[in-house]
Amino acid sequence: MAIKSILRWGSWPFLFGCCLALFAYGMHIGQPILYFNLAYVFLALTLFFLERFMPHEREWLGADGQLWQDLAHTLSSKGLVQGLLIFGGVIGLSAFLTPAAEAGRGIWPREWPMAAQVILGVVSAEFMLYLAHRMGHRWPPMWAFHAIHHSVKRLWIVNTGRFHFIDSLISIVMALGLLLVLGAPMEVVKWLSAVTAFIGMLTHCNVDMKFGPISWFFNTPELHRWHHSKDLREGDKNFGENIMLWDWVFRSYFNEDRRPPVDIGIKQAMPVAFRHQLMYPFRRNYYHGLRDKRTEKDPHIF
Ligand SMILES: [Zn+2]
Ligand SMILES: [Zn+2]
């Protein structure tokens, strides 16, 4: 069908472009938070309908019993962490660091056009996001936090924000910390936050989309579906959050011309309840013990 073909190729660039344009307008008129939210709701609603109209994996449309847990993690990680950082910590930190940058000690090229500064911000912060994400997979204490995100058995827009809030906090502090130490202005920080939110939701959507060369540069759903694979030859790849530059540099880029697995998730046991998931990193041996003992389906284990 022609319409589906247009939507398959056009949805990702069109939606990402619309979100950037809306946010740029909001920044221009001094209403970035309002326009960010408008763009985010527009993106979520459009993807929600596209997921039903042309799903990548029909099986992933069914309920997994984790809707409220996904939303609770989204609220606690994005809401609380970003709220604290953007409205408290980062602005406070920025106010402290900005005079240093203005006095000529910061190395950020503030004379560059804003678009070039935003690209520089995305590329440099991505190095920290990549590092945090890769550490989250390689270092067991950090994996215990990141495993909450990977425990999902289907990908769709609602589990975009399913992160243990400490997992989010680590990557946000590392990425924004680097930008502020370099002397980047708050506009760049706001742009990075918006771009990361838009790409994050696009990345997790269950929409049948095509990408071609877009996946060489940006983190797309087709790349991120490999990242959620149980098979570590596929899952231990594509750590990029927004762009794939550092995956190319550190040889963790992975994409093959075949369907990624439907059966995604982790090999460890994950508790069902939100509050138990929050405690999971501190009590993971307990939950692993439960899984080893269970004979039938255990209602406490997701
Ligand atoms: Zn991961
Ligand atoms: Zn993911």
CA of 227 relative to ligand 1 center, distance in Å: 6
Q: Is the pLDDT assigned to residue 296 strictly greater than 70?
A: no
- Beta-carbon neighbour count of residue 260 at 10 Å? 23
* Helical H segments across 185-273, by residue range: 186-204, 214-217, 221-227, 232-235, 245-249
Q: pLDDT tens-digit profile of 116-139?
A: 999 999 999 999 999 999 999 999
pLDDT band at 87 (very low <50, low <70, confident <90, very high): low
Reply yes or no on whether the pLDDT at 97 is more than 90: no
Percent of residues, the chain, with pLDDT higher than 70: 86
Ligand closest to Cα of 147 equals 1
Average pLDDT over residues 154-159: 95
Sequence-distant (≥ 6) Cβ neighbours of residue 95 within 8 angstroms: none
| Cα torsion 57, 59, 61, 63: sign | negative
- Residue 295 confidence class, pLDDT cut points 50, 70, 90: very low
pLDDT of residue 95: 59
> Ligand 2 center to residue 75 CA distance, Å?
16
> Is 240's pLDDT higher than 90?
yes
**Count of helices and strands (H, E) across the chain:** 14, 0
118/191 Cα distance (integer angstroms) = 7
Ligand 2 centroid, distance to 30 Cα (angstroms): 32
DSSP state of 295: S
Give the span between the Cα atoms of 242 and 260, in whole angstroms.
20
Mean predicted lDDT score pLDDT of the chain: 89
User: What would the pLDDT profile of 189-216 be if each residue is shown by its tens digit?
Assistant: 999 999 999 999 999 999 999 999 999 9
Q: Where are the domains of the chain?
A: 67-267
198 vs 142, 223, 270, CA distance in Å?
A: 25, 16, 28
228 CA → ligand 2 middle, Å: 6
| Exposure string over 15-27, b if 16+ CB within 10 A, otherwise e | bbeebbebbbebb
- In sequence order, what are the beta bridge partners of 271? 301
- C-alpha dist (Å) from residue 79 to 73, 204, 264: 9, 19, 27
**145: pLDDT strictly greater than 60:** yes
Query: Residue 85: pLDDT above 70?
Result: no
Q: How far is the CA of 155 from the centre of ligand 2 (A)?
A: 8
Q: Which residues, other chains included, contact 132 with Cβ-Cβ below 8 Å and sequence gap of 6+?
A: 170, 171, 174, 175
- Span 59-88, average pLDDT: 83
Ligand 2 centre distance from Cα of residue 143 (Å):
13
Average pLDDT over residues 83-112: 64
pTM of the model: 0.90
Q: Is 55 exposed, middle or buried (0-12, 13-18, 19+ CB in 10 A)?
A: middle
* 173-191: pLDDT as tens digits: 899 889 989 999 989 999 9
> What is the whole-number distance in angstroms between the Cα of residue 229 and the centre of ligand 1?
10
Q: Which amino acid would we find at residue 63?
A: A
> Across residues 8-26, what is the average pLDDT?
97
Residue position matching structure tokens 């994050």 = 200
Distance 150 CA to ligand 1 centre (A): 6
Q: Which is more confident, 230 or 103?
A: 230
